[in-house]
Amino acid sequence: MARTPMIALHLLVALCILSSARTSSSAPSDVDGFIGCLSAAIPPSLIHTPATNSYSSLLLASVRNLRYVLPGTTRPLLIVAVTEPAHVQATVVCGRRHSVRIRTRSGGHDYEGLSYASVDPDQHFAVLDLGELRSISIDASRSEAWVGSGATLGELYYAAAAANQTFGFPAGNCPTVGVGGHLSGGGFGALSRKYGLSADQVIDAVVVDAEGRLLNRSTMGKDLFWAIRGGGGESFGVVLSWKVRLVAVPETVTVFSIRRLRNESAVDLITKWQAISPALPRDLYLRVLIQNQQANFIALFLGRCGGLVDTMRARFPELGMTERDCQEMSWVKSTVFFFYNTADRPAEVLLDRRNANYYLKVKSDHVAEPIPGEALESIWTKWLEKPEAALIMLDPYGGRMRSIPPSATPFPHRDYLYQFQFFSFWFENGTAALERRLSWVRGAYEDLTPYVSKNPRSVYVNYRDLDIGTNELEGNVTSYAKARVWGERYFKGNFKRLAAVKSMVDPDDFFRNEQSIPPLPAAKR
């Protein structure tokens, strides 16, 4: 392959910088060999080392959490910005051959930056950036789409609606989230009470496995196909694309956003909301965002204003919702509304892949029994009046979420009333701000203990939280016994099956990070 002298020079410099890197296992990384191997199969212009001018801008292009670009964070040895499946296969084969691990990045929204960074200085890895693998092709006659992992949710929503205004897709409320990480971790959003998770609508996928083979649903087998729909893709391979079922939405939907201050009985309203929101008709999703002194009740109704007003009057009259609160629009515009809290922007904003960068720490939980009003009151008094208070997001389950068995996919949290997130984001640089925010989130989370999920205290894997535990090695592979500590909190009884799948598809534990699924030891199979 022809190579410009400048690129050759860059690669040479990179070889010098990187040649001493080691993987976290005992096998030393042969970074020189890795780069040589990559260069034989991939255009050098797609290989970005720290010595290339493009490295930093590419790295930062889809970093969502500034905590993971602070000094002291381990950055990738290099980034391969693939443009075709063969590049992914070659990177996996070269990585295996030369003991360089790989982290896959689709949209870069991992709460703990695992797709592009590590806080462990012993981790050495290359990043496979899938941002260019983002084609979306819609088969309108079958209500299906093939979507590349590098596409964003916003691009998928826009393309679905452009094909037919009555096509929607159940996925998250943030349009810049990447399809690759989101679908492989589950994918919850405003349509989930009606249609379940994104992963529930996946009907096929193309994966590169640890041998560098290109597999689809029939060639990967049912266990791997089960694991990548909620178990987190990073442990099992690289998912290149997904075939999904598009779901039916009406041409016109209705949204509202109703704010109630604390002194306007916001706590009483939240108390009631806990009991009614998971039992509302599936066409209605009603979430609550709480910040400082107010609660914001935000709804998506798959129907017109009249039907929404009738339902709210019958089921939640205390909120005082009226026709004046209704905003009717297309479903695709409702996805704009859910992110920007206004539908005044055109649907084209969904195509904007740029991220707002901030520091981020999230802790999340699930609630099985309504939290008593007095407890909500005291949490609010103790925590929400502080200037460093996080945004609290309450998202109801019920409906279709509840009717899918917990073992149908790796996502086991189907029976809870709602999910609870402390979403702390800030722009201020410096250690003092960081420590204040982290201690707020951790302290508030601790205080919530009596009222939330137990045995284990559960977490949704797409709301990654390294506080719940990280991997340790046993010999050359990740310890199953140690990983159970965090793994059963994400996956409950499904964790063991995920580990069994890992043993089948990646027994050498090539696809490894701080919270990757370990292989199941032979004695436990």
Question: Binding residues for ligand FDA, per CB under 6 A?
Answer: 64, 103-111, 114-115, 130, 149, 172-174, 177-178, 180-182, 184-189, 232-234, 238-239, 462
Find the shortest distance in angstroms from Cβ 115 to ligand FDA.
3
Integer Cα distance of 188 and 171 in angstroms? 5
CA angle centred on 152, ends 151 and 153, rounded to 5°? 125
Find the shortest distance in angstroms from Cβ 157 to ligand FDA.
12
Q: Which is nearer to ligand FDA, 104 or 458 (CB)?
A: 104
Bridge partners (DSSP) of residue 360 are: 425
Say if residues 361 and 443 touch (Cβ distance below 8 Å): no
Look up residue 406 and give its amino acid.
P
Look up residue 137 and give its amino acid.
S
Q: In what order do the strands lie in the sheet with 284-291?
A: 327-329, 253-261, 294-301, 284-291, 391-396, 418-426, 359-367
Q: Which is nearer to ligand FDA, 18 or 128 (CB)?
A: 128
Bridge partners (DSSP) of residue 426 are: 359
Find the shortest distance in angstroms from Cβ 171 to ligand FDA.
7
CA angle centred on 80, ends 79 and 82, rounded to 5°? 145
Q: Which is nearer to ligand FDA, 102 or 321 (CB)?
A: 102
Bridge partners (DSSP) of residue 239 are: 207
Find the shortest distance in angstroms from Cβ 149 to ligand FDA.
4
Integer Cα distance of 42 and 151 in angstroms? 22
Integer Cα distance of 467 and 425 in angstroms? 17
Find the shortest distance in angstroms from Cβ 265 to ligand FDA.
28
Say if residues 243 and 198 touch (Cβ distance below 8 Å): no
Q: Which is nearer to ligand FDA, 187 or 518 (CB)?
A: 187
Say if residues 512 and 478 touch (Cβ distance below 8 Å): yes
Find the shortest distance in angstroms from Cβ 346 to ligand FDA.
21
Chain-centre distance for alpha carbon 285:
20
- In this structure, the number of other CB atoms found within 10 A of the CB of residue 40 comes to 10
Q: Which is nearer to ligand FDA, 44 or 487 (CB)?
A: 487
Q: Which is nearer to ligand FDA, 233 or 519 (CB)?
A: 233
Find the shortest distance in angstroms from Cβ 140 to ligand FDA.
25
Q: Which is nearer to ligand FDA, 305 or 365 (CB)?
A: 365
